[in-house]
């Protein structure tokens, strides 16, 4: 077994720990707020486990920050290699892979940018649910580039083909599903709203 830790696993571990400590939350408090077990949070913070997309969604909801913030290195929102005028080459972009589903997420923008943009690749048969809290204080657009995405929002199901978009409304439990035999590629554009 290799002792080499994936840089993204290390980055996520540092960000989860930094966000928890910044709030002065114990592991138990974060577990209560997120619905993720203390044991799992501890393994993530110790770089012993890469969280799944579902776990990342729950943690980001508890912290009320975007998933992209948990994937970036800097807790001040500047990230690495970002900023005005900085060119980020496609080959250099960090890509995070969900160990459970194979879902891949590549951040296009850094957390300091006014909108969060991510490219997602959802493998055949993958299903990624997010809790309603992951969508609090945000507006979101999903734009399918290739393949077919079944998007469930509460009791509603929307089938989106290449070129289709959907603007998301009030927070609700949402599930991204690829029930086809080919990969689905889509873009998520997220804008943060002011808290009431």
pLDDT tens sequence across 1-23: 445 567 778 888 999 999 999 99
Mean pLDDT of 21-37: 94
Question: Which residues lie below 8 Å from residue 180, measured CB to CB, with a gap of 6+?
Answer: 124, 147, 148
Mean pLDDT of 157-186: 94
Provide the percentage of residues in the chain whose pLDDT is more than 90. Answer: 45
Render pLDDT for 107-141 as a digit per residue (tens, 0 to 9): 888 767 788 889 999 999 999 988 887 777 778 89
Across the beta sheet with 138-146, the strand order is 95-97, 104-107, 115-122, 184-192, 138-146, 165-168
**Top-confidence residue, 109 or 39:** 39
Q: What is the pLDDT of residue 170?
A: 85
> pTM (2 decimals)?
0.76
Q: What is the pLDDT of residue 64?
A: 82
Q: Strands of the chain (E only): list them.
A: 95-97, 104-107, 115-122, 127-130, 138-146, 148-153, 156-161, 165-168, 174-177, 184-192
Domains of the chain from N-terminus onward: 7-71 (1.10.260.40), 92-192 (2.60.120.10)
Cβ–Cβ under 8 Å, residues 128 and 178:
no
């Amino acid at each position: 077994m290799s002792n080499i830790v994936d840089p993204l696993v290390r980055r996520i571990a540092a960000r989860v720990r930094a966000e928890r400590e910044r709030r002065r939350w114990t592991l138990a408090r974060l577990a209560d707020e997120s619905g993720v077990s203390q044991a799992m949070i501890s393994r993530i913070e110790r770089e012993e486990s890469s969280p799944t997309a579902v776990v990342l969604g729950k943690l980001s909801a508890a912290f009320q920050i975007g998933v992209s913030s948990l994937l970036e290195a800097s807790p001040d929102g500047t990230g690495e290699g970002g900023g005005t005028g900085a060119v980020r080459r496609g080959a250099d972009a960090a890509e995070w892979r969900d160990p459970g589903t194979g879902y891949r997420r590549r951040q296009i923008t850094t957390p300091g940018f006014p909108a969060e943009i991510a490219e997602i690749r959802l493998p055949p048969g993958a299903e990624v649910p997010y809790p309603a809290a992951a969508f609090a204080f945000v507006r979101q657009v999903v734009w399918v580039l290739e393949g077919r995405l079944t998007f469930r929002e509460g009791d509603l199901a929307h089938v989106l083909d290449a070129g289709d978009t959907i603007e998301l409304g009030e927070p609700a439990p949402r599930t991204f599903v690829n029930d086809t035999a080919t990969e689905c590629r889509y873009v998520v554009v997220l804008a943060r709203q002011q808290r009431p």
